[in-house]
Amino acid sequence: MDQRLADVLSVLELEALEVNLFRGESRDIGSPQVFGGQVLGQALVAAYRTVEGRECHSLHAYFLRRGDFNAPIVYQVDRSRDGHSFSSRRVVAIQHGEQIFHMSCSFQVAEAGMEHSAPMPDVPPPEALADFESYHEEILADLPEKVRRFFEHRRPFEFRPVRRPNYLNPVPLPASKQVWFRAVDRLPGDAAWMHRCLLAYVSDYNLLDTATLPHATSFLHLQMASIDHAMWFHRPFRADEWLLYAVDSPSASGARGFARGSIFTRDGRLVASTAQEGLIRPRDSAEPPVA
């Protein structure tokens, strides 16, 4: 297995400290704090460790403080309810004695019902598009050192944007974008929980910065931080097969941007939806983005 993917899987392997209490390691991805998607994925793993025979169908999370990637994060799970069909969990992430994140999530026994979904956008296939890393390589020499660290980090997912990114000379664009993505290598087995936790991890990429597109400014010149993050899992999928992230931002106001995303399989099935609000402020010095 590719070492990048093996590493993120090891990050999701939490240590059990006590009943309902788990500890996770962090990774430095070139940003000044723990990547929000890592905390989201680990929190979902912690919740899954307290549930049997049910799959997560929704989660709602808030980021409270910056995480320190030099210290472990402790996850405390509250088993709020186990009903006939649904289970509810609340997860609190603690670091240096303070809450940095909390999340509510719901699990359901597999059940048949009515089916419909929105259509997938008509976009070129991933094979016709260039990888994000090829665009990053073109501009590395023109970036400040701190930002360069973020771009040089090799990620466990590959991303192929439908529209070429323009970080250095942005122009006003519609507040929407589409990005193909998948894990960089084949994942072992087909456990649904693993693919959902990995999707939670990667869903924090390419979301909030969509709110900056109409304003002819790059996230390189902004202070950005996730405030909250919500996900709904609709259908089974594999995180190591191509998925299309179709994102739009219907609003930005009050130094906050709001974005929502739809995630489709290659054959057009809508498998998950996301929503996020985050802080967006101008700043003087360039540093790696928060989210």
Q: What is the pLDDT of residues 156-167, one digit of tens each?
A: 999 999 999 988
288, pLDDT greater than 60: no
b/e 102-125 (16+ beta carbons within 10 angstroms → b):
bbbbbbeeeeeeeeeeeebeebee
Q: Which of 26, 33, 95, 276 is catalytic?
A: 276
pTM for the model stands at 0.93
> What is the per-residue pLDDT for 286?
43
Q: Which residues form the domain of 220?
A: 3-109+126-282
What average pLDDT is seen over the chain?
93
Residue 22 belongs to domain with CATH number: 2.40.160.210
Share of the chain above pLDDT 90, in %: 82
Contacts with 13 (C-beta within 8 Å, 6 or more apart), sequence order:
45
> What is the per-residue pLDDT for 139?
81
For residues 6-33, give the mean pLDDT: 94
> What is the per-residue pLDDT for 289?
45
Confidence label for 291 from pLDDT (cuts 50, 70 and 90): very low
Q: Shortest CA distance to 246 belongs to which of 180, 202, 183, 198?
A: 180
* Active-site residue, 82 included: no
* Active-site residue, 226 included: yes
Q: Which of 87, 106, 204, 209 is catalytic?
A: 204
Q: Which of 31, 87, 226, 262 is catalytic?
A: 226
For residues 42-53, give the mean pLDDT: 98
For residues 27-44, give the mean pLDDT: 92
242, pLDDT greater than 90: yes
Whether 64 maps to a domain, the answer reads: yes
> What is the per-residue pLDDT for 145?
76
Q: Shortest CA distance to 94 belongs to which of 157, 135, 150, 42?
A: 42
130, pLDDT greater than 50: yes
Whether 56 maps to a domain, the answer reads: yes
Whether 115 maps to a domain, the answer reads: no
Whether 119 maps to a domain, the answer reads: no
Whether 96 maps to a domain, the answer reads: yes
Tokens of 209: 């910065």
Task: Please provide the DSSP assignment of 104-142 as one string.
Answer: EEEEE---------PPPP----GGGS--HHHHHHHHGGG
Confidence label for 32 from pLDDT (cuts 50, 70 and 90): confident
Say which range, 23-32, 194-203, 262-271, has the weakest mean pLDDT. Answer: 23-32
For residues 78-100, give the mean pLDDT: 98
Whether 290 maps to a domain, the answer reads: no
Say which range, 134-138, 164-168, 268-272, 273-277, has the weakest mean pLDDT. Answer: 134-138
Tokens of 83: 């009903």
Whether 118 maps to a domain, the answer reads: no
Q: What is the pLDDT of residues 194-226, one digit of tens each?
A: 999 999 999 999 999 999 999 999 877 889 999
50, pLDDT greater than 80: yes
For residues 226-244, give the mean pLDDT: 97
How far is Cα 149 from Cα 288, in angstroms, rounded to an integer?
8
> What is the per-residue pLDDT for 144?
76
> What is the per-residue pLDDT for 42?
98
Count the domains in the chain: 1
For residues 262-286, give the mean pLDDT: 91
* Active-site residue, 7 included: no
